[in-house]
A and B are shown apart, each in its own frame.
Chain A
Amino acid sequence: MSKKILIADDEQNIVISVEFLMKREGYAVSVAADGDEALAKIRAEKPDLVLLDVMMPKKNGFEVCQDVRSDPALAGVRILMLTARGRDTEVAKGMALGADGYMTKPFSTRDLVEKVRELLG
């Protein structure tokens, strides 16, 4: 059974590209366009990995990450944060909140695929 990945990002074009990449790698993909939707889908679908944008409407990626990590039922969900805000403090914050990885936009598609593989492997 293929691994499930949730892509949470409010940038339509980025979602399209990442969705394409993930599907090409054989993962099952679902999409969320804001924080609330992302959290709802995580709870409903229990994806193996969430590719989580930080700057989203309603609930930002950090908050989503925090909520997921504080819910024992979601312990198996891995989180890879993707963000255009690349400052060190942001990276540190993300890791401190329990993200499993952090990638800065724009990213190399190869690096992303590798990172996803690593996290799911």
Chain B
Amino acid sequence: MLQSPVVISVSFCYLALLFAVAYWGDKRADQGRSVIANPTIYALSMAVYCTTWTYYGSVGRAAVSGVGFLPIYLGPTLVMALGGFLILKMIRTAKANRITSIADFIASRYGKSQLLGGLVTIIAVIGIVPYIALQLKAVSGSYDLIVGYPALIAPKEGGQPVFADTTFYIALILAAFTILFGTRHLDATERHEGMVAAIALESVVKLAAFGAVGLFVTYGLYGGIGDIFQRAMAEPQLAKLTAVAAENRNYATWFSLTFLAGLAILFLPRQFQVTVVENVSEAHLKRAIWLFPLYLLLINLFVLPIALGGLMQFAGQGIDADTFVLTLPMSAQQEVLALFVFVGGLSAATGMVIVETIALSTMVCNDLVMPLLLRTKALALQRERDLSGLLLAIRRGAIVVILLLGYLYFRLAGDAYALVGIGLISFSAVAQFAPAMIGGMYWRGGTRDGALAGLLAGFAVWTYTLLLPSFAKSGWLPASFLAEGPFGFEMLKPQHLFGLTGLDEISHCLFWSFGANITTYIVVSLLRSPTAAEASQATQFVDALKTTRPVGSALWRGSADPAELIALVGRFLGPQRAEDAFATYARRRGVADVKRLEADADLVHHAESLLTGAIGSASARAMVASVAKEEPLSLPEVMNILDEASQLRTYSRELERKSRELEAATSELKAANDRLLEVDRLKDDFMASVSHELRTPLTSIRAFSEILRDDPRTALPERERFLGIIVSETERLTRLVNQILDMAKIESGNVEWRVEDVDLKAVVEQSAAATSQLFHDKGVTLTLDLPPAVAAVRADRDRLMQVVINLLSNAVKFAPAQAGRVVVSLAQVPDGLSVTVADNGPGIRREDQEVIFERFRQGGDSLTGKPTGTGLGLPISRKIVEYFGGRLWVESEPGVGAAFIFVLPLENSRNGTPQ
């Protein structure tokens, strides 16, 4: 059943299925019910990474170097696992800037440079076309092989004319397919939903086919994986493949292959297409970062068993290990399986070719052809009404040209080395984008010149150390070029540059090209500071993940006519789509009519981003500039805007800090204010208290005086009683005035203290004598408990007497009449001399023991009635004692009595310096 009609019709059926899936996907997308808005589809579409090079080549590579095929899958796994943030940043940046290809990404980052976009495109095309050729060769090779069944070796091709060559038709069919799904319309976002759906299906098919062969070989031909390995170990030549044997233990090679493959998963145009451009939602990345590596693991699971099985099965038959996947089922007469495997290989090839060609055609159109057309025939183009058709035509043309280039390379290279080794050579070419890409996303200092120079240097070294040697190995250049260096210059031997030996060709190329690329990129970038355009784009890219990134419109100033802008966009997107896009924009801005749109920076930016989706950032900027009058911003102005944005975060942190400081300062101020208010209130209270204390006796005096005046007939005893009250209230008033003045003088420091050596014993005795009449009147006993002699203290004798008399009169006031007892004692204590005046009065409650030292806060309650006195005696006494460095306090047991104690330091008497 493996005759060519069957194989061809099965192949066409398969392609028809893909077509149907893609058609369905596009239709669903048009209805707004996307089928690819699904993280699993997204992860599967990434598996476009696995081409025929994986499908057929991994086994071939494993047959030579055992586990040496693994780094190609280790790199992507590591990048997915550890580099998710990088991919996220690429996705967000690309979406924000409507970037549709890796060339546009780099061009946009470095000031929307057409030159840079063009260079990236050229490098990509040169690097990728041979890779496409490899896919064509694989399809054609596997076709020749399968239709040659039951023979296991395909007849040598070559010689037949192009039109008799199946590969040519394969290329044309793929071109047609790609045109159908890659260029249906010029979407602003350039998403190809149908294509992605088809690619995801292809990933499932190739995995299933490869798994089927693996299972067949492992469990059909052999007794399981253990069995295969056991038998292989028995053969010395195979045993070394099963282990990470000595020759596989070249760490430099492992490292560079892993590194290279890691970069390829990011920067291969087809990977950029499916991972970044076709991404529907950033959230899908979460599943892809584990699902895609899992896919890689699964597709590699049976590589070694198939390789070992093939080597043992076909020992000595000279069958190419690259064909084991197909020849093993064929040799076992498993025709259906063989056909399935062929379809799997077809899917690996078509998937790669379609996506890669779409990506390349977008780049060729937007970054190579359009800029040239716009430049050379600018006038003619601008007069053209609708260019959307031309754009599509350019893309379709590019697709055909790229595939024909691939075919041409395939025809020229044939079985030459230049084709076989092209996978890694392609990887090394796109790896040259890494410094400009990663540097551009994380370093603001990178400039267009730096990126250009770095890319050129890396590309030149790549050409010299990898591409030209592959030509030499294919016999297109003299072998001496490799062996002796160009013109016999040993130091310039392409694969041992400057005498560097000990590295395989890939590591060698990577070393020199990356060295040249990175160094040139950095050094040239540092030669001058970024221009305004570069700086503004740098911020868009570097701060892509930050929320306060300035919008593009913030960096544009000028004027434009909305009608002209709409017309311009319409020329590239088609008038209807342009109308729709601007109508949507107007609705979002809350403007009812498109014609009423304001021609502000935001509108211009919107037009430019619409165009960017269709023709790339560099061309879009050029086209917008042709209808809008831009007043270029100077670098300082751009830096101002950018600084504002990037400093916004700093400012907000600063603001937070300031506001915390302000809060602290405010609360301090509040506390200070509260203290001031308290002081004020105390003063107010003092004034109110003074007023109250003065008014109270005045009230009695005035009342009785008026009573006596108004009624002269008042009885004599009453008259005498009233006059007595008037006199005593007058005395109270006088005492009060004196004490208030005394207090004020002490507080303001206006007292003249007469400091001398004072004998406290004498002071106590004299005070007792002065108050003896009070004690006698109330029948209270006064006892003096004094030592024979005490040391003198430095103080004011009269003031100390004032204190002791005050304490004595308080004591007698509160001591019970007749039964009262007051004891005054004088004693030497550790910190000086103490005087204690103790009574057996009602005592003072603990909570009142400090209050009584406040002004006008007298002790006493209902039991004692309102005490006589001014309420200033104790505060004044305390001030006096404290003035001489002493303390005055009360100790009391309520109901038992109270003891007022003051201590004066003797220290003062020696140095004689009262505080």
Contact = CB atoms under 8 A, between A and B. Distances in A.
Interface of chain B, main secondary structure: helix
B703 A17 contact: yes
A117 interface: no
A13 B725 contact: yes
A92 to B, nearest CB: 15
Interface stretch (A40-48, A60-68, A70-78, A107-115): A107-115
B745 interface: no
A14 B710 CA distance: 17
B317 interface: no
A118 B489 CA distance: 131
B703 A86 contact: no
Contacts of B729: 13
A57 B706 CA distance: 28
A34 B700 contact: no
Nearest to B868: A12
Contact of A107 (B693, B697, B699): B699
A14 B702 CA distance: 10
A105 B698 contact: yes
Nearest to A13: B700
Interface size band for A: 20 to 34
A57 B866 CA distance: 8
A13 B688 CA distance: 21
A18 B707 CA distance: 10
Given A14-B703, A18-B703, A57-B861, A106 B866 contact: no
A33 interface: yes
B576 interface: no
A84 B696 contact: yes
B695 A86 contact: yes
Interface in B396-455: none
Nearest to B711: A24
Interface in B852-880: 861-862, 865-866
A85 B692 contact: yes
Contacts of B722: 17
The winner among B696, B701, B722, B866 for most chain A CB atoms within 10 A is B696
Interface residues of B, number: 25
Contacts of A95: none
Interface string B669-699: 0000000000000000000100111011111
B704 interface: yes
A97 interface: no
Interface of chain A, main secondary structure: loop
Nearest to A58: B862
Interface string B223-242: 00000000000000000000
A84 B693 CA distance: 8
Interface in B698-752: 698-704, 706-707, 710-711, 722, 725, 729
Contact of A33 (B688, B702, B725, B865): B865
Contact of A17 (B693, B695, B704, B861): B704
A87 B865 contact: no
Given A17-B707, A21-B707, A109-B706, A84 B692 contact: yes
Contact of B699 (A10, A34, A106): A106
Nearest to A33: B865
Contacts of A21: 703, 707
Contacts of B691: 84-86
A24 B714 CA distance: 11
A55 interface: yes
A57 B862 contact: yes
B844 to A, nearest CB: 15
Nearest to A83: B692
Nearest to A18: B703
Contacts of A55: 692
A36 B854 CA distance: 25
A33 B862 CA distance: 9
A81 to B, nearest CB: 14
A16 interface: yes
A104 B696 CA distance: 10
Contacts of B693: 84
Nearest to B714: A20
Nearest to B724: A13
B710 A109 contact: yes
B395 to A, nearest CB: 88
Given A13-B729, A16-B725, A18-B703, A105 B696 contact: yes
A106 B698 contact: yes
Given A13-B725, A21-B707, A33-B865, A106 B702 contact: yes
Contact of B695 (A10, A20, A105): A105
Interface in A1-29: 10-14, 16-18, 20-21, 24
B699 A14 contact: yes
Contacts of A105: 695-696, 698-699
B695 A84 contact: yes
Contacts of B710: 109-110
A78 B866 CA distance: 27
Given A33-B865, A85-B691, A109 B696 contact: no
Contacts of B704: 13, 17
A14 B706 CA distance: 13
Nearest to A82: B699
A18 B696 CA distance: 13
A21 B696 CA distance: 17
B707 A14 contact: no
Contact of B706 (A10, A13, A33, A108): A108
B294 to A, nearest CB: 81
A20 B707 contact: yes
Contacts of A87: 688
Contact of B862 (A20, A34, A84): A34
8 contacts: A11-B866, A13-B725, A33-B862, A55-B692, A58-B861, A104-B695, A107-B702, A108-B702
- Shortest 9 CB-CB contacts between residues of A and residues of B: A17-B703, A84-B695, A13-B700, A105-B699, A106-B699, A84-B692, A106-B702, A109-B706, A106-B698
Given A17-B699, A17-B700, A17-B722, 11 more contacts: A12-B866, A13-B700, A13-B704, A17-B725, A84-B695, A105-B696, A105-B698, A107-B699, A108-B706, A109-B706, A110-B706
Interface of A: 10-14, 16-18, 20-21, 24, 33-34, 55, 57-58, 84-87, 104-110
